[in-house]
Amino acid sequence: MRTLNISEDTADTLFIDLLNEHLELILSTNTSFIHGDDFNSSMRISKAISILMQQLKTDAEHKQWLMHTLHPLQDAYISHEYELNAIQDAYTSSEY
């Protein structure tokens, strides 16, 4: 069996890429419904990913990542959840 030897920096880079990909999936706005429990879980997971990123990046890199990656994804996810709830509330109130 062959083994793959990679440096610590390469492993960190691969892990960061994996976290970013999963963050995009977790905070996806490509949904027509977000359950309240799912919303809360997604926000907690994004916070956990932020803590991991803080350990993997320098302070300056982490701040840049927050500004350019995490916060825009969270903002879009929160806005999407708000819009979905407004649509659901309008639909529910029109039934009565």
The mean pLDDT of 72-93, rounded to a whole number, is 86
Residue 74 CB: number of other CB atoms within 10 A? 18
> What is the distance between the alpha carbons of residues 44 and 50, in angstroms, rounded to a whole number?
10
This model's pTM is above 0.85: no
What average pLDDT does the structure give for the chain? Answer: 91
Domain chopping of the chain, boundaries: 59-96
pLDDT for the residue 4 = 82
The mean pLDDT of 80-94, rounded to a whole number, is 78
